[in-house]
Structure 1
Protein backbone atom coordinates (compact mmCIF):
# COMPACT_ATOMS: atom_id res chain seq x y z
CA UNK A 1 0.00 0.00 0.00
CA UNK A 2 2.81 2.42 0.91
CA UNK A 3 4.67 1.65 -2.33
CA UNK A 4 1.50 2.37 -4.35
CA UNK A 5 1.01 5.70 -2.61
CA UNK A 6 4.67 6.67 -3.08
CA UNK A 7 4.50 5.67 -6.75
CA UNK A 8 1.26 7.64 -7.23
CA UNK A 9 2.79 10.67 -5.48
CA UNK A 10 5.92 10.44 -7.71
CA UNK A 11 3.80 10.25 -10.88
CA UNK A 12 1.69 13.26 -9.83
CA UNK A 13 4.80 15.24 -8.85
CA UNK A 14 6.60 14.48 -12.12
CA UNK A 15 3.50 15.40 -14.13
CA UNK A 16 3.19 18.70 -12.23
CA UNK A 17 6.87 19.52 -12.79
CA UNK A 18 6.62 18.61 -16.49
CA UNK A 19 3.50 20.75 -16.92
CA UNK A 20 5.12 23.72 -15.12
CA UNK A 21 8.29 23.51 -17.22
CA UNK A 22 6.25 23.20 -20.41
CA UNK A 23 4.16 26.26 -19.48
CA UNK A 24 7.24 28.35 -18.68
CA UNK A 25 8.99 27.38 -21.91
CA UNK A 26 5.82 27.88 -23.91
CA UNK A 27 5.19 31.34 -22.48
CA UNK A 28 8.78 32.44 -23.16
CA UNK A 29 8.39 31.42 -26.79
CA UNK A 30 5.16 33.40 -27.10
CA UNK A 31 6.50 36.90 -26.33
CA UNK A 32 3.99 39.28 -27.81
CA UNK A 33 4.76 42.19 -30.07
CA UNK A 34 4.49 45.67 -28.61
CA UNK A 35 0.90 46.69 -29.30
CA UNK A 36 -0.08 49.16 -32.02
CA UNK A 37 -3.81 48.90 -31.34
CA UNK A 38 -6.31 47.66 -28.75
CA UNK A 39 -4.51 49.09 -25.73
CA UNK A 40 -5.60 51.44 -22.98
CA UNK A 41 -4.96 55.16 -23.18
CA UNK A 42 -5.94 58.19 -21.12
CA UNK A 43 -6.71 61.83 -21.81
CA UNK A 44 -5.72 64.74 -19.58
CA UNK A 45 -8.46 67.17 -20.57
CA UNK A 46 -11.93 66.99 -22.11
CA UNK A 47 -11.26 65.79 -25.64
CA UNK A 48 -13.29 66.53 -28.77
CA UNK A 49 -14.44 63.49 -30.71
CA UNK A 50 -15.57 63.12 -34.30
CA UNK A 51 -17.51 60.67 -36.48
CA UNK A 52 -14.63 60.71 -39.00
CA UNK A 53 -11.25 62.38 -39.26
CA UNK A 54 -11.58 66.11 -39.92
CA UNK A 55 -15.34 65.64 -39.72
CA UNK A 56 -18.03 67.31 -37.64
CA UNK A 57 -17.34 67.51 -33.92
CA UNK A 58 -19.81 65.31 -32.03
CA UNK A 59 -18.95 66.36 -28.49
CA UNK A 60 -16.24 66.07 -25.87
CA UNK A 61 -15.06 63.02 -23.94
CA UNK A 62 -14.58 63.90 -20.26
CA UNK A 63 -11.06 63.32 -18.93
CA UNK A 64 -12.43 61.70 -15.78
CA UNK A 65 -15.25 61.48 -13.30
CA UNK A 66 -15.72 62.42 -9.64
CA UNK A 67 -18.13 60.28 -7.65
CA UNK A 68 -20.42 61.45 -4.83
CA UNK A 69 -17.62 60.91 -2.30
CA UNK A 70 -15.30 63.19 -4.27
CA UNK A 71 -13.06 60.42 -5.60
CA UNK A 72 -11.67 61.18 -9.06
CA UNK A 73 -11.37 58.36 -11.62
CA UNK A 74 -9.58 59.00 -14.92
CA UNK A 75 -11.52 58.11 -18.06
CA UNK A 76 -10.10 55.06 -19.83
CA UNK A 77 -10.20 54.76 -23.62
CA UNK A 78 -9.04 52.03 -25.96
CA UNK A 79 -7.16 52.71 -29.19
CA UNK A 80 -8.75 50.71 -31.99
CA UNK A 81 -6.18 51.93 -34.53
CA UNK A 82 -4.15 54.93 -35.60
CA UNK A 83 -5.35 56.45 -38.86
CA UNK A 84 -2.18 58.55 -39.16
CA UNK A 85 0.06 60.61 -36.85
CA UNK A 86 -2.75 63.10 -36.19
CA UNK A 87 -5.83 60.87 -35.70
CA UNK A 88 -6.73 57.75 -33.73
CA UNK A 89 -9.91 55.69 -33.68
CA UNK A 90 -10.90 55.03 -30.07
CA UNK A 91 -13.55 53.21 -28.09
CA UNK A 92 -14.76 54.76 -24.88
CA UNK A 93 -17.41 53.51 -22.52
CA UNK A 94 -17.73 56.40 -20.10
CA UNK A 95 -19.45 59.52 -21.32
CA UNK A 96 -21.67 62.02 -19.60
CA UNK A 97 -24.76 60.17 -20.85
CA UNK A 98 -23.34 56.68 -20.21
CA UNK A 99 -23.34 55.54 -23.85
CA UNK A 100 -20.58 53.40 -25.34
CA UNK A 101 -19.05 54.98 -28.40
CA UNK A 102 -16.43 54.61 -31.08
CA UNK A 103 -15.08 57.81 -32.56
CA UNK A 104 -11.99 59.61 -33.82
CA UNK A 105 -9.87 61.92 -31.69
CA UNK A 106 -6.78 64.01 -32.41
CA UNK A 107 -3.68 62.17 -31.17
CA UNK A 108 -2.38 65.27 -29.37
CA UNK A 109 -4.86 64.50 -26.54
CA UNK A 110 -3.67 60.92 -26.01
CA UNK A 111 -1.66 60.00 -22.92
CA UNK A 112 -0.06 56.62 -22.28
CA UNK A 113 -0.21 56.95 -18.47
CA UNK A 114 -2.15 58.72 -15.77
CA UNK A 115 -0.01 58.87 -12.64
CA UNK A 116 3.02 56.83 -13.69
CA UNK A 117 5.67 56.60 -16.37
CA UNK A 118 5.32 52.92 -17.32
CA UNK A 119 4.59 53.28 -21.03
CA UNK A 120 5.09 55.59 -23.94
CA UNK A 121 3.52 55.75 -27.39
CA UNK A 122 5.68 56.49 -30.41
CA UNK A 123 4.68 59.74 -32.14
CA UNK A 124 6.87 59.69 -35.25
CA UNK A 125 6.05 57.65 -38.35
CA UNK A 126 9.38 55.85 -37.87
CA UNK A 127 10.93 56.14 -34.42
CA UNK A 128 14.59 55.15 -34.21
CA UNK A 129 15.50 52.90 -31.27
CA UNK A 130 19.17 53.72 -30.63
CA UNK A 131 22.03 52.10 -28.69
CA UNK A 132 22.92 55.42 -27.06
CA UNK A 133 21.70 58.95 -26.51
CA UNK A 134 23.43 60.66 -29.42
CA UNK A 135 22.28 61.04 -33.02
CA UNK A 136 25.42 59.15 -34.05
CA UNK A 137 24.40 56.08 -32.02
CA UNK A 138 23.57 52.96 -33.99
CA UNK A 139 19.87 52.35 -34.76
CA UNK A 140 18.75 48.99 -33.37
CA UNK A 141 15.22 48.97 -34.80
CA UNK A 142 12.73 51.36 -36.33
CA UNK A 143 9.45 51.44 -34.42
CA UNK A 144 6.18 52.29 -36.26
CA UNK A 145 3.92 55.15 -35.17
CA UNK A 146 1.42 54.43 -32.42
CA UNK A 147 3.38 51.55 -30.86
CA UNK A 148 3.22 51.29 -27.08
CA UNK A 149 6.64 50.64 -25.54
CA UNK A 150 7.66 49.95 -21.94
CA UNK A 151 9.73 52.69 -20.31
CA UNK A 152 12.60 51.35 -18.22
CA UNK A 153 14.32 54.64 -17.24
CA UNK A 154 14.74 58.28 -18.14
CA UNK A 155 18.08 59.87 -18.93
CA UNK A 156 18.94 63.50 -19.54
CA UNK A 157 21.96 65.00 -21.21
CA UNK A 158 22.11 68.77 -21.11
CA UNK A 159 18.67 70.01 -22.09
CA UNK A 160 17.65 66.80 -23.88
CA UNK A 161 15.69 63.90 -22.39
CA UNK A 162 15.90 60.30 -23.59
CA UNK A 163 13.84 57.27 -22.65
CA UNK A 164 15.34 53.80 -22.31
CA UNK A 165 12.56 51.52 -23.56
CA UNK A 166 11.78 47.92 -24.39
CA UNK A 167 10.20 47.12 -27.75
CA UNK A 168 8.96 43.62 -28.62
CA UNK A 169 8.86 42.35 -32.20
CA UNK A 170 8.48 38.77 -33.49
CA UNK A 171 9.20 37.20 -30.11
CA UNK A 172 12.34 39.25 -29.43
CA UNK A 173 12.85 42.17 -27.09
CA UNK A 174 14.89 45.18 -28.14
CA UNK A 175 16.14 47.70 -25.59
CA UNK A 176 17.42 51.13 -26.45
CA UNK A 177 16.90 54.88 -26.34
CA UNK A 178 14.36 57.09 -28.03
CA UNK A 179 14.18 60.87 -27.91
CA UNK A 180 11.64 62.86 -25.94
CA UNK A 181 10.14 64.34 -29.12
CA UNK A 182 9.42 60.81 -30.45
CA UNK A 183 7.35 59.60 -27.50
CA UNK A 184 3.99 60.53 -26.01
CA UNK A 185 3.76 59.86 -22.28
Structure 2
Protein backbone atom coordinates (compact mmCIF):
# COMPACT_ATOMS: atom_id res chain seq x y z
CA UNK A 1 0.00 0.00 0.00
CA UNK A 2 2.77 2.33 0.78
CA UNK A 3 4.15 2.10 -2.80
CA UNK A 4 0.75 2.78 -4.27
CA UNK A 5 0.35 6.05 -2.35
CA UNK A 6 3.79 7.24 -3.48
CA UNK A 7 2.96 6.87 -7.20
CA UNK A 8 -0.30 8.79 -6.82
CA UNK A 9 1.58 11.80 -5.46
CA UNK A 10 3.91 11.85 -8.52
CA UNK A 11 1.24 11.91 -11.26
CA UNK A 12 0.54 15.68 -10.98
CA UNK A 13 4.24 16.60 -11.21
CA UNK A 14 4.59 15.07 -14.70
CA UNK A 15 1.69 17.18 -15.94
CA UNK A 16 3.24 20.39 -14.57
CA UNK A 17 6.62 19.59 -16.14
CA UNK A 18 4.96 18.81 -19.50
CA UNK A 19 3.09 22.13 -19.38
CA UNK A 20 6.30 24.03 -18.57
CA UNK A 21 8.10 22.38 -21.49
CA UNK A 22 5.16 23.20 -23.77
CA UNK A 23 5.23 26.84 -22.61
CA UNK A 24 8.99 27.12 -23.28
CA UNK A 25 8.61 25.64 -26.78
CA UNK A 26 5.74 28.07 -27.51
CA UNK A 27 7.82 31.07 -26.39
CA UNK A 28 10.73 29.93 -28.59
CA UNK A 29 8.37 29.46 -31.55
CA UNK A 30 6.89 32.94 -31.12
CA UNK A 31 10.36 34.44 -30.87
CA UNK A 32 11.49 32.70 -34.07
CA UNK A 33 8.34 33.80 -35.87
CA UNK A 34 8.82 37.43 -34.79
CA UNK A 35 12.45 37.31 -35.91
CA UNK A 36 11.54 35.90 -39.35
CA UNK A 37 8.83 38.56 -39.87
CA UNK A 38 11.35 41.28 -39.01
CA UNK A 39 13.91 39.77 -41.39
CA UNK A 40 11.33 39.67 -44.17
CA UNK A 41 10.53 43.36 -43.64
CA UNK A 42 14.22 44.27 -43.77
CA UNK A 43 14.73 42.21 -46.94
CA UNK A 44 11.72 43.86 -48.60
CA UNK A 45 13.05 47.31 -47.72
CA UNK A 46 16.50 46.53 -49.09
CA UNK A 47 15.03 45.06 -52.27
CA UNK A 48 12.83 48.14 -52.79
CA UNK A 49 15.78 50.46 -52.29
CA UNK A 50 17.90 48.52 -54.77
CA UNK A 51 15.06 48.55 -57.31
CA UNK A 52 14.69 52.35 -57.10
CA UNK A 53 18.48 52.76 -57.30
CA UNK A 54 18.61 50.66 -60.47
CA UNK A 55 15.63 52.53 -61.94
CA UNK A 56 17.41 55.88 -61.47
CA UNK A 57 20.57 54.48 -63.04
CA UNK A 58 18.53 53.10 -65.95
CA UNK A 59 17.04 56.56 -66.49
CA UNK A 60 20.54 58.05 -66.65
CA UNK A 61 21.79 55.43 -69.11
CA UNK A 62 18.73 55.83 -71.33
CA UNK A 63 19.11 59.62 -71.39
CA UNK A 64 22.80 59.26 -72.19
CA UNK A 65 21.99 56.96 -75.10
CA UNK A 66 19.44 59.45 -76.41
CA UNK A 67 21.97 62.31 -76.18
CA UNK A 68 24.80 60.35 -77.81
CA UNK A 69 22.62 59.83 -80.88
CA UNK A 70 22.34 63.61 -81.43
CA UNK A 71 24.73 65.51 -83.67
CA UNK A 72 26.65 68.48 -82.27
CA UNK A 73 24.13 70.97 -83.62
CA UNK A 74 21.16 68.96 -82.41
CA UNK A 75 22.69 68.53 -78.97
CA UNK A 76 23.47 72.21 -78.60
CA UNK A 77 20.01 73.20 -79.87
CA UNK A 78 18.25 70.61 -77.70
CA UNK A 79 19.99 71.56 -74.47
CA UNK A 80 20.65 75.27 -74.89
CA UNK A 81 18.99 76.76 -71.84
CA UNK A 82 16.43 74.02 -71.29
CA UNK A 83 16.32 70.50 -69.92
CA UNK A 84 15.68 67.47 -72.10
CA UNK A 85 13.27 65.19 -70.26
CA UNK A 86 12.81 61.48 -70.84
CA UNK A 87 10.29 59.13 -69.23
CA UNK A 88 11.11 55.45 -68.82
CA UNK A 89 8.11 53.30 -69.69
CA UNK A 90 7.63 49.55 -69.80
CA UNK A 91 7.62 49.67 -73.60
CA UNK A 92 10.60 52.02 -74.00
CA UNK A 93 11.78 55.60 -73.55
CA UNK A 94 9.51 58.54 -74.30
CA UNK A 95 10.53 62.15 -74.54
CA UNK A 96 8.85 64.44 -72.04
CA UNK A 97 7.80 64.23 -68.42
CA UNK A 98 6.14 61.14 -66.97
CA UNK A 99 2.44 61.22 -66.23
CA UNK A 100 1.35 60.04 -62.79
CA UNK A 101 0.25 56.69 -64.25
CA UNK A 102 3.48 56.00 -66.22
CA UNK A 103 5.50 53.10 -64.85
CA UNK A 104 8.70 51.58 -66.17
CA UNK A 105 8.10 48.01 -65.03
CA UNK A 106 5.30 45.62 -65.93
CA UNK A 107 4.27 45.26 -62.28
CA UNK A 108 3.59 48.99 -62.08
CA UNK A 109 5.84 49.67 -59.09
CA UNK A 110 8.51 52.03 -60.42
CA UNK A 111 8.37 55.42 -62.04
CA UNK A 112 11.63 56.76 -63.48
CA UNK A 113 12.56 59.79 -65.52
CA UNK A 114 15.64 61.79 -66.39
CA UNK A 115 16.45 65.44 -66.88
CA UNK A 116 19.46 66.41 -68.97
CA UNK A 117 20.76 69.91 -69.25
CA UNK A 118 23.80 71.56 -70.73
CA UNK A 119 25.99 72.81 -67.90
CA UNK A 120 28.20 74.68 -70.33
CA UNK A 121 31.07 73.94 -72.60
CA UNK A 122 34.73 74.70 -72.51
CA UNK A 123 37.10 75.06 -75.40
CA UNK A 124 40.03 72.71 -75.23
CA UNK A 125 43.20 74.76 -75.81
CA UNK A 126 45.09 74.08 -79.03
CA UNK A 127 42.46 71.65 -80.31
CA UNK A 128 41.41 72.25 -83.88
CA UNK A 129 39.99 70.13 -86.61
CA UNK A 130 39.68 70.84 -90.31
CA UNK A 131 36.20 70.70 -91.74
CA UNK A 132 34.99 71.23 -95.27
CA UNK A 133 34.08 74.82 -94.54
CA UNK A 134 37.16 75.78 -92.51
CA UNK A 135 38.34 74.94 -89.05
CA UNK A 136 36.36 74.55 -85.86
CA UNK A 137 37.16 74.45 -82.19
CA UNK A 138 36.70 71.26 -80.24
CA UNK A 139 34.66 71.81 -77.12
CA UNK A 140 33.60 69.57 -74.29
CA UNK A 141 29.89 69.79 -73.69
CA UNK A 142 29.32 69.32 -69.96
CA UNK A 143 25.95 67.67 -69.60
CA UNK A 144 24.34 66.94 -66.26
CA UNK A 145 21.88 64.08 -66.24
CA UNK A 146 19.59 63.72 -63.25
CA UNK A 147 17.92 60.33 -62.88
CA UNK A 148 14.86 60.25 -60.63
CA UNK A 149 12.97 57.16 -59.59
CA UNK A 150 10.17 56.51 -57.17
CA UNK A 151 8.37 53.52 -55.73
CA UNK A 152 5.11 55.05 -54.61
CA UNK A 153 3.84 52.01 -52.72
CA UNK A 154 6.80 52.15 -50.28
CA UNK A 155 7.39 55.93 -50.45
CA UNK A 156 11.00 55.44 -51.61
CA UNK A 157 12.77 57.86 -53.94
CA UNK A 158 16.22 57.87 -55.50
CA UNK A 159 17.94 60.79 -57.20
CA UNK A 160 21.25 60.40 -59.03
CA UNK A 161 23.20 63.15 -60.74
CA UNK A 162 25.74 62.19 -63.38
CA UNK A 163 27.98 64.56 -65.29
CA UNK A 164 29.09 63.51 -68.72
CA UNK A 165 31.25 65.13 -71.37
CA UNK A 166 30.68 64.98 -75.07
CA UNK A 167 33.34 66.30 -77.39
CA UNK A 168 32.21 68.21 -80.40
CA UNK A 169 32.55 71.37 -82.41
CA UNK A 170 30.81 74.37 -80.97
CA UNK A 171 28.35 75.69 -83.56
CA UNK A 172 29.39 79.10 -84.84
CA UNK A 173 32.91 78.78 -83.45
CA UNK A 174 34.75 79.10 -86.73
CA UNK A 175 38.36 80.22 -86.72
CA UNK A 176 40.57 81.15 -89.59
TM-score (normalizing by structure 2): 0.31
Q: TM-score, normalised by structure 1?
A: 0.30
Write 1 or 2 for the structure with the bigger share of helix. Answer: 2
Name which one, 1 or 2, has greater alpha-carbon Rg.
2
